[in-house]
Amino acid sequence: NADAAMYRVKEAGRNGCEFFTHEMQARSARHLRIVTALRQAIEGQQLSVVYQPQMSLKDGSLVGAEALLRWTHPELGFISPAEFIPIAESSGLIVPVGGWVLRKAVRQAVAWRAAGGAPLRMAVNLSAAQFRHADLSAMVGHILQEEGLHPGELELELTEGAVAQKPQQAIDVMNGLRAQGIHLAIDDFGTGYSSMSYLKKFNAHKLKIDQSFVRDISRDADDRAIVTAVIEMAKRLNMTTIAEGVETAEQLAFLQKHGCDQIQGYIYSKPLTPSDFEAFARQPPQLLPAGSPRAHGGLVAL
């Protein structure tokens, strides 16, 4: 009856509200805890960097690595970058933390080159806050010089969000990086709001197709249409394409067939510690379909 129903609605509203308040409190407490803890994380040696292989779809070779930050706090345990990177960004801590990652990854690239491995390009994520620093280009150049890495062996990943806020400044910084020979990649492409005209002005070398478009390639015709169109567009803009989050043989085959240049995903490997990465590099798995035209350097009919 009506009274009972009204009671249930009120009850639900009250509980919902309490739950909401508790959750909000718990969240902001954790947020504060993370900000405080993150300040100590670098000094406390709680941060590390793992490296995910980037593979060529032409011949299945290893062509690059993306440096990804990891944080294990002594009490809080493993904290996902999906949780702490946004907090690091909003608190400004991403500037020192991101600088630490960059130097660490550059050093790793130098060490791998010195060990005589095949040439790799090291990709490092840059956040909007780092990108807003006017002297970013000089700072990166400085690190490369100090550590002895050729600029062409470094790739910086920027999201559309990082470049869309102040497009003109972004274009200036990107030009400064480009002029040094550093490679630029647009990360998570298709999830932001940048227009096609910016894509042209940004003049990046590489476009990373976001994993949200790759995930359902086998089931979703719209995603297939988007992915093939993005690959085609990037080609005409002379950009290299890499698909993120590739997990299945079906996704790999589709991307290869449609001329995507590279892939990165669990099908080859999760992000690896330096020593696991070295083992991977010595013997990368052979996953390209045998006899596939591109594996033999031929052209694929689209």
The answer to whether residue 78 forms part of the interface with ligand C2E (CB under 6 A) is: no
39: which 2 tokens? 């300040």
Closest CA to 156 of 226, 61, 133: 133
Closest CA to 180 of 238, 148, 138, 120: 138
Q: Is 287 exposed, middle or buried (0-12, 13-18, 19+ CB in 10 A)?
A: middle
With H, G, I as helix, E, B as strand and everything else as coil, classify residue 30: helix
The answer to whether residue 188 forms part of the interface with Mg ion (CB under 5 A) is: yes
Chosen residue from 16, 44, 81, 289 binding ligand C2E by CB under 6 A: 81
- Residue (81 or 119) nearer to Mg ion, CB: 81
Q: Identify what 98 binds: Mg ion, ligand C2E, none; CB under 5 to 8 Å per kind.
A: ligand C2E
Please name every residue paired with 206 in a beta bridge, in sequence order, or none if there are none: 185, 240
Site size toward ligand C2E, by CB under 6 A: 25
Q: Provide, rounded to whole angstroms, the least separation between the CB of residue 103 and ligand C2E.
A: 11
**Other CB atoms within 10 Å distance of the CB of residue 182:** 22
CA distance 40 to 34: 10
Pairing of strands 77-79, 47-56: unpaired
Chosen residue from 91, 125, 251, 269 binding Mg ion by CB under 5 A: 125
Chosen residue from 158, 271, 272, 280 binding ligand C2E by CB under 6 A: 271
The answer to whether residue 209 forms part of the interface with ligand C2E (CB under 6 A) is: no
Q: Provide, rounded to whole angstroms, the least separation between the CB of residue 125 and Mg ion.
A: 4
* Token pair 């042209």 in the structure block, residue: 200
The span of 34-42, 57-65, 78-86, 290-298 binding ligand C2E (CB under 6 A) equals 78-86
- Residue (96 or 117) nearer to ligand C2E, CB: 96
Q: Which positions touch ligand C2E (CB under 6 A)?
A: 52, 68-69, 80-82, 85, 94, 98, 101, 125-127, 157, 187-188, 211, 244-247, 264-266, 271
